[in-house]
Chains A and B, each alone.
Chain A
Amino acid sequence: MYGNDTSVVTFVKKLRHLRRTTGPAAEGQTNTSMSLEVFQKRILPMKDKLYRLALRLLLNGHDAEDVVQDVMIRLWSRREEWGQWQSLEAYCMTAVKNSCLDRLRRRQLPSVGEERAQDVNSHDKDPHEKMIAKETFMQIRKCMDELPQNQQLVMQLREVEGFSYNEIAEVMGISLDQVKVNLFRARNAIKKSIIQTESSWKENR
């Protein structure tokens, strides 16, 4: 995943070269069009991932889109700093996570899991969620919604987005061990829940 950022590194190198060879006037113009290219090729395609993370935390498609838009525009206004960041993706995910947590605090929601009745509704209303109508899926989703926030985030990043432990630790600002502990608990909670559903389903039959 870090490999994705090579073009940003090349971009910064090109910029430095430009600064040396041409005057600042020519640089200003090229700078913007090059940044725009990097933005469209590297940052904009992250929108789906960022949206899914925001949706997991906010449980509302409209708010999730708002957060992604805000973060993207903020990122664009800070394009001078892109080269200094270790991993653009981890940076974006962290920014979305923080922005969502801010929003949750402002909404004064006690926590993601505790507004369950409303959660289910917002999921049902969301057109992108329509495809998930299967009963087992609903069961898994319900179980996931009830997990502590850190476990939910670790699951989202690992099981859905396929992030490495290091990347998850970076995005969440926790240690590698904490990542593994959270993932262990979350995976086994899902396993337990689905085995229970399965056995109760067999009994009913």
Chain B
Amino acid sequence: MTFLRNNWWKIIGVLILLYVIAGGLLFEAPQLPVIRETVRNIYFHVGMWFSMMFILFMSLFFSLRYLRYFRPDDDLKAATAVKTGLVFGTLGLLTGMIWAQNTWGSYWVNDPKLNGAAVGMLTYLAYMVLRGSVDEHDKKARLAAVYNIFAFVLFFVFIMILPRLSQGSIHPGIEGNPALSAGDLDPRMRKVFFPAIAGWMIMAWWLFRVYYRILRLRKNIDELNEND
């Protein structure tokens, strides 16, 4: 009973994703020209990408909170959230590449949206490099928190604003909010798509929490050893 009380949202997340896997691959989907069955990738690719955005937003929140109160835990949470976001970003890129291969005939095309996504992720990889290059903990935390704000803004410029301004992207959903606009998504797909977004976000949050607890434990053990 305690297990259920503590883990109900994780169980719900897993059940939702099991439904998404089954519904996403077996339910009826619109047969669009060229895209055909690959349209089902939207449940995975977009879901993972939204989860990445959610977890990167949380990282921004923790960084801002760190700059307000200077609590080391907030810095650790921000860094963990970026790492988790990068995992989901990589999964999103991989699912996107598989889709591109089956639709456009190439894993990567010279498209402003795709290039923007790659550069956006590099911006966050630079965050990790920055953290690794400073030894002093307070200085590292402050620098990383400020850079994280910069990275979040840049990321959205790269994936949302620049591809639209360039007007040369062939990526679906470039005109509006991808898959959320009324004309973007077939009504038959909504019963799987919206749960998919929720399921992937729950999974991302769960992964973030576990990873954070591991890093916090490691840090606490190190501190205990240092004080001995």
Q: Do A and B come from one complex?
A: no
> Interface on A for B, CB 8 Å cutoff?
none
